[in-house]
Structure 1
């Protein structure tokens, strides 16, 4: 997986992007690696919301719950259990997907272990599965954070302000992250004309 400082950088930018969406009453249940982009400056962009709902209340936790939001499943590997079960997805559902993303950054390809094969699978069975695979995460601080995110009851799941205060993000200058003043760990390679090249490299510019 990625070094923890790299995970910390990308996770902090995704976190603030989600909080920005929630502030404006926007929820998407299809948060996954395909909707997390890196721009030319090396910073995160959250994009492509095929499943979107507007909650004009804009409050954390309201997130568009109700019949109008019970229509889609999103990307199964990253979709919260409540979306599979009832299609009742709100801003809390983002935090489950965020936990899956963190887990995948630390253990690439392991998110498939979180997949819910049956929508009516018992909650306690799923929580035991999550507990059994958490040993793959090597850092105790991120293990604590991911464990708090991969909670099947959305009302018990960690939310944005709690996540920001988690030990894993200790030392993060959130104002610097918000203003995009933190140096990215990687820059997309570009051609002489300033365009992205066809294949990405792990080397910085």
Structure 2
């Protein structure tokens, strides 16, 4: 049976992640012996179409050159602070955290939408990550629950664009990585 040109194009793209997963060594942070994050200077980077830069609140990690000094008294909360400052849409978002399992961390951010433009809406972000003694990695997956009032005053074309934009954002994973670069400067 011959494959269509479309199948020939899609098949390699679909198989590559599965093949790479087999090469990753199968790390499961939830089953690892828990480690404590080391104090020091951390460089924070983001991936995900640069969308994450809109999430920074400006008053915490990432507000100055994406380089953060983590003091010994702050190491336990640092992964959660990264999420609060990089994966929340505004300071009023609430966070719920699951109990840490090994070196795996997980939680959820819930933010109310603007009360004038989209009253009653919610933006939630599922957060999953892992830590090691010298770095933290967090992935955020955004979900929008926009009420009809958010697009009520728009033309059908504009409303469709807003909904399409929300779906696009929901399809992206925002990755935050903080790597220790040395002692605090």
Same fold by TM-score, threshold 0.5 exceeded? no
Greater share of helix: 1
Larger Rg: 2
TM range (shorter): under 0.3
State TM-score, norm by structure 1.
0.24
State TM-score, norm by structure 2.
0.26
Q: Which has the higher contact order (CA 8 A, sep 6+)?
A: 2
